[in-house]
Structure 1
Amino acid sequence: MKLGISELFPAAGPRDGRWSLDAAALIEEIGYNSVWLPEHVVFFPSYRSQYPYESGGAQEVHKTLGVYDPLVLAGSIAAVTTTLRIGTYVLVVPQRNPIVTARQVASVDRLSGGRFQLGAGVGWSEEEYTALDVPFERRGARMDDYLAAMRALWSEEEETSFSSEFVEFEPLYCYPKPAQKRLPVIVGGNSRATLERIVSYGDGWAGYSRTHEDIKVFIDKLSVLMDAAGRDMSELSLKVGRRSKGKTEKDWEDDRAYIEEAMRIGIDEVVVSPRIGDENYEKDMRRYFEIVGG
């Protein structure tokens, strides 16, 4: 089974930059398939926006109080690893200029030797959009245009131009190109719009905190839409995020049961957050892999 790690690599406290790079090298050495980096540009003392996933909500997000820019950290991780896949889970694409983002992503893919995967989502925090002076409304339509524009910029064509509702640029040169012929865009979310976005622009799904029944329903709907569009499900990499419910070996055995069933119904990689503390990080990460990934 493919097992990815999504650790909150905060930019404060004991998990500083050196810790993040050492942890990534350790994750690779143990045998995990990939590491995934979250994105929030800024955090807030309180949120009006509704957190769409687990209980604890936005106030739990607030406790993180900062994460490294995922593309900057991805480039650093690429320098200290050789086989580990690196991705974002997820980059909030509509908040970023698409030309700048396309260039940054292609740079990371080149520097990593083609190991990067762009997990992309629309985000949920209106407060963050407001702080960045980007409209929260119609962020899904904005993201579709941005993904289409980035695909054009990553193409082998030397000259690129683009025209849509949210993106407009005259012929230009955008380099570097990604190392991968088709850089994987893994679309995050659980909505109908997510399904359509995967079919139109994506190479996979990045679900989060889904029950097995939720996963099965989503995959069934996606299969119908892919078939209607003339695409095959084998083109997609289906991932789901799993946050461990606790820190004991019994909790980790529950993770294994969840992962095994998720893979039985069509998921090819589970991205886990195992709630492992700093004190015995290496020992516990190795033991977690023995129980969950062995």
Structure 2
Amino acid sequence: MAEQYRNLPLNPLRAFAIAAQYNTFTAAANHMGISQVAISRQISILENYLGVKLFERRARSVKLTDVGRSFSREIVGLFHDLELATQRVLHNESETIVHMRIYPTLVHYWLLPRLKGFYDSYPGYSVRLDTSVQPLDFRGTHLDLAFQLGQGTWSETRCRKLFDETIDVVCSPEYAERFDGFRKPSDLSRAMLLHAKYRRREWDLWADAAGVSVPDSAGMSFESSLLAYGAARDGLGLAIGQIDILQDELASGRLVRPFMRPVQTGSSFYLVWPTLKSVSIPTRRFIDWLLTLSGEPNEFMKRKGG
């Protein structure tokens, strides 16, 4: 076995893995800090070693062959795992940590109230949360998993839907009483509307479904839904709430739905993880735990009695 490892062309394999991710020799060369000619030479060495063509060379571009595309799915994941293993040694970490990207609002209102249940079940594991709202791309990150809103179309990933996005108007019970309960959607004109900066279309979506217009008054604008929901709970006005995320606030009575007119946005919340790397045991446990919370079948482990 040691002899087999000794003969593996590791540098050409690494060059291929990087070129396959970028799908261009120029970008791969910049990434590795070498010339484009050197990248091409390394990949030619690998092709000769394997006896197959991995890239189609064109005048100004390259394209993975079918064999190259299939091979890249395995090789890219292996190098990603190798990098993570190296980083764990460098930072003295064992494989007990799950790195997940998740929206701040989802963390605050949905995950944190439930997370103790995961730690009670798996006391040796740890979850580290990345609350960036940048477009999801697992390449070049330590992310194992993401909890995202969308259509389930992220490339090179496996997705499991947890729940659809349903929106409705929410406010504090005191604010609703102040306006005699907001009996009909046209009562919006009497209220202060609370807007989240990046989710302004949701007021229009809800109003269109209710057959009314959003008042021209500016209302109040917040940087995030997290702040808008907090303002609604504190009695500042009406916000458009994501009902599944706010289920604890609604069940406790801290927020109410004065109109009870739920609207489906067409998007859903998904668990998303990359297919170009192996899924660690802690990540598998966490995925299955989250699926169980949403009443969905496990992905990795069969449930007892199932």
TM-score by length of 2: 0.25
Larger Rg: 2
Bigger RCO of structures 1 and 2 (CA < 8 A, at least 6 apart):
2
